[in-house]
């Protein structure tokens, strides 16, 4: 470490940072955090981020991609190749989600963090089963609790959600049609993480 707390690069400096990051992502069996890569390489966050961005550009038209969320990064096969990869590996295609589960998932994705009651207010029906299905599939998770009476759980999407839909971030979700914002939350929400 330098005097200002920034990591110094200890591995062979002749190896480009992009090559080190690519090797770590290839070897990892689970999504990894930027801080894990920083520790393994001795590089700063800026160096790691730059290497990841370079890899993303290189992989844009290839059979592998960098998939990342705010906290995790993973090397994955290109979404458009999923059918061929599944057949090659002998995998069964994922069981499709019901219309109710997809609708519930869309609400969580666009309105997160969101409570069960808020989802039900939008859908107009009980959502317990759809939420339970989405949690069990790892597509959503409890991300905290509201600091209000009853401390209701709030839900958000997971890294698995991004993987399932072939997204690299929530910013890639298609925009919602402008509805005048009548059903949007207008007051800030205080959440206590779980």
Planar angle of CA 70, 170, 110, nearest 5 degrees = 125
The confidence score (pLDDT) of residue 159 equals: 87
| Beta-ladder partners of 142 | 155
* Ordered per-residue pLDDT tens for the chain, 194 residues: 444 455 555 557 788 999 999 999 999 988 899 999 999 999 999 999 999 999 999 998 899 989 887 678 989 888 888 888 878 887 776 667 889 999 999 999 999 999 999 999 999 999 999 999 999 989 999 999 988 888 999 999 998 898 888 887 888 898 888 755 444 433 334 444 54
| Beta-ladder partners of 140 | 157
Q: Mapping DSSP to helix (H, G, I), strand (E, B) and coil, where does residue 6 land? A: coil
Q: Mapping DSSP to helix (H, G, I), strand (E, B) and coil, where does residue 193 land? A: coil
The domain limits of the chain are 17-89, 99-192
- Please say whether the structural domain 17-89 has been given the CATH code 3.30.1490.20: no
Q: Model-level pTM greater than 0.75?
A: no
Q: Is the dihedral of CA 110, 130, 166, 138 positive or negative?
A: positive
The confidence score (pLDDT) of residue 1 equals: 44
Look-up of token digits 């959502």:
127
Tell me the fold of 99-192: Arc Repressor Mutant, subunit A (1.10.10)
- Domain 17-89 and domain 99-192, same fold? Reply is yes
Q: Alpha-carbon distance 124 to 174, whole Å?
A: 23
The confidence score (pLDDT) of residue 103 equals: 94
């Amino acid at each position: 470490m330098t005097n200002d707390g920034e990591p110094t690069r200890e591995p062979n400096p002749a190896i480009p940072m992009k090559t080190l990051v690519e090797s770590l992502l290839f070897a990892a069996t689970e999504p990894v955090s930027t801080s894990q890569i920083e520790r393994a390489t001795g590089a700063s966050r800026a160096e790691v981020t730059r290497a990841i961005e370079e890899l993303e550009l290189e992989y844009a038209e290839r059979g592998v991609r960098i998939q990342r969320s705010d906290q995790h990064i993973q090397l994955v096969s290109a979404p458009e190749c999923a059918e061929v990869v599944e057949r090659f590996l002998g995998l069964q295609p994922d069981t499709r989600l019901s219309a109710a589960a997809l609708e519930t998932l869309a609400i969580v994705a666009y309105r997160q963090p969101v409570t069960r009651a808020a989802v039900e207010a939008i859908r107009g029906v009980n959502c317990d089963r759809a939420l339970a299905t989405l949690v069990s599939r790892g597509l959503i998770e409890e991300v905290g609790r509201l600091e209000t009476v009853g401390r209701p759980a709030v839900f958000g999407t997971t890294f698995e959600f991004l993987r399932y839909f072939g997204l690299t971030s929530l910013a890639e979700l298609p925009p919602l049609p402008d509805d005048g914002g009548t059903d949007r939350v207008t007051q800030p929400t205080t959440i206590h993480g779980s």
